[in-house]
Structure 1
Amino acid sequence: MLHKTQGIALGYIRYRETSIIAKVYTKVFGIQSYIVNGVRSSTSKTNKIALFQPLTLLDMVVYHQKKDDTVHRISEMKCYAPFQSLPYDVAKSSLALFVTEILGKTLREEETNEALFEFLEQSVLYLDGAERDFENFHIQFLMQLASFLGFGIEAIEDLNNELRQHHYPQVADPVEEQVIVNLLSGGYGQMVSMDRIRRVGILEKLLFFYKIHMDSLGEIRSLDVLKEVLR
């Protein structure tokens, strides 16, 4: 059966000689995998594989047969909000890779969650359009995403208590605590001044917090690049 849905591309793997299996977070079906045929062929007249670069926003018409099918097919697709800067800015593209990896490891639901989709969509659009003050985007993204995953941080005490209970080696000092409070209360683009060391420290605390709640998180391969780019 054919269905229309929007989706956010989360990457792909090669499949056979000319095809891919793309992972997409959809507005209607949640996280899904799709076989896309012929996009790696040298004779292909289109560059459809570019539509599956990290965080591309898609309009899709998809085939979904049975609910327990693990891989579906795409009938039609196009990008409904072409990026202006995200793929061409080193800092933004590094943030996009990090966000994509986090989503690939944390999104598990194969069902509709429009609020989560809209949060992700608005986050992507903000990052692409931001001209400055986006160096804390990934930290605020993790803080907000946690609420959709069921373990939101309502106050600095929530974070501190869990880190202590699980023997995290470093406790935030008063300056860092205030920075975290400001990040929790503000939206994307709010200027919260901190140096690279504090930014990395807060990020590592949040990732440890995620691992407390999600054993599957594992190693974040894009983390080292992100630390180098966002100084």
Structure 2
Amino acid sequence: MLHKTRGIALSYIRYRETSIIARVYTEAFGLQSYVVNNVRSAKSKTNKIALFQPMTLLDMVVYYKDDRDLNRLSEIKTLHPLQSIPFDIAKSGIALFLTEMLTKSLKEESGNPMLFQFLLESILLLEHLETGYENFHLAFLAKLSAYLGFGAENAREFEQQLREHSYPFLPNAETELALNTLLRRPVGTAVRLSRADRLNLLEALVAYYRIHVDAMGEIKSLAVLHEVMS
């Protein structure tokens, strides 16, 4: 049966000679995998594979059966073409890292309109920010944790949970103030952090996710993020 839904591209892997399997977070059905045929063929007249780059916003018509791990696409186009994220090296590094975190953290195969709206608005914010996005990934992870059901109320609760799992997070006054702002205020709210404190808080946030998300494994894009944000 055909359904219309918006989606956010997360990642894809090669499948057979000319196809891919794309992971997409959809508004209607949560996290889904789609077989997309003939996107890697030399005979393909369109660069459809570009639609599955990290954080691409999609407007889709999809086939859906709840007993299938793989579904298929009927129609697909960009919902809001991204002009900044794919071409700005810092933004693309942030997008790569956050989509890997999302891929490992999102588990539900059912719609969650509030979470989808948060993701959509956050991506559009990153797209349109011209400056001041060096802490965007920290704010995103802090707020996302609440939508996933394990957000801390404040910096002290965050620190306590890490300490209970033997992670030595000891924030200074500036980091604690910044973390409280990230947890309580909307993504995009300005915070002041030195580069060292930013890296320290990023490692702490990844550790916090490891506590709450089963089998996260290695975050391969973390090294890339460190490189582009240095």
Stretches of structure 1 that go unaligned for 5 or more consecutive residues are none
What's the counterpart of residue 39 of structure 1? 39
Write the distance in 1 (CA, Å) between the matches of 2:57 and 2:178: 32
* 1:230 matches 2:219: no
Write the distance in 2 (CA, Å) between the matches of 1:132 and 1:181: 22
Aligned amino acid, residue 33 of structure 2: S
Aligned amino acid, residue 101 of structure 1: E
Q: Alpha-carbon deviation of 1:170?
A: 3.4
What TM-score, normalized to structure 2? 0.97
Q: Deviations over 1:134-158 (max 9, x none)?
A: 1101001001110111101211121
Stretches of structure 2 that go unaligned for 5 or more consecutive residues are none
Write the distance in 2 (CA, Å) between the matches of 1:138 and 1:147: 15
* 1:205 matches 2:204: yes
Write the distance in 2 (CA, Å) between the matches of 1:85 and 1:223: 21
Aligned amino acid, residue 93 of structure 1: S
Write the distance in 1 (CA, Å) between the matches of 2:195 and 2:160: 24
Aligned amino acid, residue 29 of structure 2: F
Q: Deviations over 1:31-90 (max 9, x none)?
A: 0000111111101111111100111110100111x3110000000000010012110100
Q: Kindly report which structure 2 residues correspond to 1:185-200, keeping only aligned pairs within 5 A, or say none.
A: 185-200=184-199
Give the conservation status (yes or no) of the 8 Å contact 1:59–1:80: yes
Q: Alpha-carbon deviation of 1:216?
A: 1.6
What TM-score, normalized to structure 1? 0.96
Aligned amino acid, residue 47 of structure 1: N
Q: Deviations over 1:104-142 (max 9, x none)?
A: 101110001000000001111111111111110100100
Matched residue count: 230
Give the conservation status (yes or no) of the 8 Å contact 2:139–2:188: no
Write the distance in 1 (CA, Å) between the matches of 2:117 and 2:181: 23
Q: Alpha-carbon deviation of 1:188?
A: 2.9
| C-alpha RMSD of matched pairs (Å) | 1.1
Q: Alpha-carbon deviation of 1:184?
A: 2.3
Write the distance in 2 (CA, Å) between the matches of 1:229 and 1:201: 16
Give the conservation status (yes or no) of the 8 Å contact 1:39–1:47: yes
Runs of 4+ in 1 over 3 A off after TM superposition: none
Aligned amino acid, residue 14 of structure 1: R
Q: Alpha-carbon deviation of 1:173?
A: 2.1
Q: Kindly report which structure 2 residues correspond to 1:4-15, keeping only aligned pairs within 5 A, or say none.
A: 4-15=4-15
